[in-house]
Every structure is written in C-alpha cells, then in structure tokens.
Amino acid sequence: AMSITALRMRYRPLKDKFSTPTAAAGCPSLVEMLVNAISTVKESAEEYYAHKNDQQRSDAGRAHHHAVTLCYSTVLRSLPETVLLLPGQDEPHRAPSVDRSCMRSASLELRSDEFGMKRVVELLMKYESNTENQHESAIRMLHCCESWAKYVSVPTDIVNLTIGNIGSNYFQIMNPCATREEER
C-alpha cells in the first residue's frame, strides 16, 4: 500500500496515454519516499522514549531499532513486487489501480542504478550498521536482495558485497584453522 501511495504521489497520469510521465517536481524517488515515511515514525518514537529513565530507554531503544530496521527491510523488499510484477503473473497479486504509464515510469526508475537496487542496498547498510545482531541483519539484506533479483539484474558489486561477505564468513566458521594460519 505504501509503494502504491508513493507511486501515485510521484507520477501523475498524462492525457496522452502513450507518453511516459516524469516525476512530480521536487518529489523524492520512490525508495526515498518509503524510507522517509519510516524515518518519520522512527523519529517520533525516539522523542517518546527519550523521556524514559536510562534502563527503560536502553530496552526501548534496542526494541525500537530492531522494529525500525525490520520496517525498512520489509518496505524496501516489497517495492519491486508491487511495481515490477506484471498483473496476472502471480495468483494472489492483483493489478494496482494505477495508470499504466505511471507504472512504466516507476519501473524505469527502479531499474536505474541511481534509484534502484543499489540505492536500496546503500540505505539498508546505513540503517543496519548499528544492529547488534549481525546475523539477522545479513538475513534481512539477503531477503531484500532476493526480492529485487526476481525483477532486476543484480549489479556485480552487490553480489560481491552480499555473497562474498557471507561466503568468507561461512568458510571462517567452518574452518577456523584457516584464519589462524592467515594471521601468521
């Protein structure tokens, strides 16, 4: 629902159905709009728990951070399916009531390097950097990359970043002697 709302705000239908609409003036990208919506909730919650005592603030802060990073991941993970999946390709997926030319513009935006998957990974890394549980963070990142990879080609640097890091961490866990030998 948030993705469709953002799409409707960013792209307005044109009278000429064969024209591709441009983004509304001063309107951020679809990815940025979704992140800004979650960030507004995040800031409101931070103001609320800032008035608690230290222990309550610490507990609430951890829970809050976990909830917010989960929201970022979930919203950004659902965006490509909402915009890039053609109506009727998936049984439970319904055609959104958005002008086709607007969907085409949104599709072009999400397939671009500037506003697409690369930007999503940058934002997730930014928000996941303070996560205590790096395992959960890595899983959220991989789920998001998987969702995007169903609809857009994955840039090589993202493959190296996600799979490369996970692979090297996996091999270090499976063969701890190898890391000790490398340190010598």
Q: What is the tens place of the pLDDT at every residue in 62-109? A: 777 778 888 888 888 888 887 777 655 555 555 566 777 888 888 888
pLDDT at 40 > cutoff 60: yes
pLDDT of 59 strictly over 50: yes
**pTM score, whole prediction:** 0.67
pLDDT tens per residue, range 113-167: 888 888 888 888 887 766 666 777 777 888 888 888 888 888 787 777 767 655 5
- For the stretch 77-80, contacts whose Cβ atoms lie closer than 8 Å and that sit 24 or more positions apart, written own/partner, are 77/143, 77/144, 77/147, 77/148, 78/3, 78/147, 79/3, 79/30, 79/31, 79/34, 79/110, 79/120, 80/110, 80/147, 80/148, 80/150, 80/151, 80/152
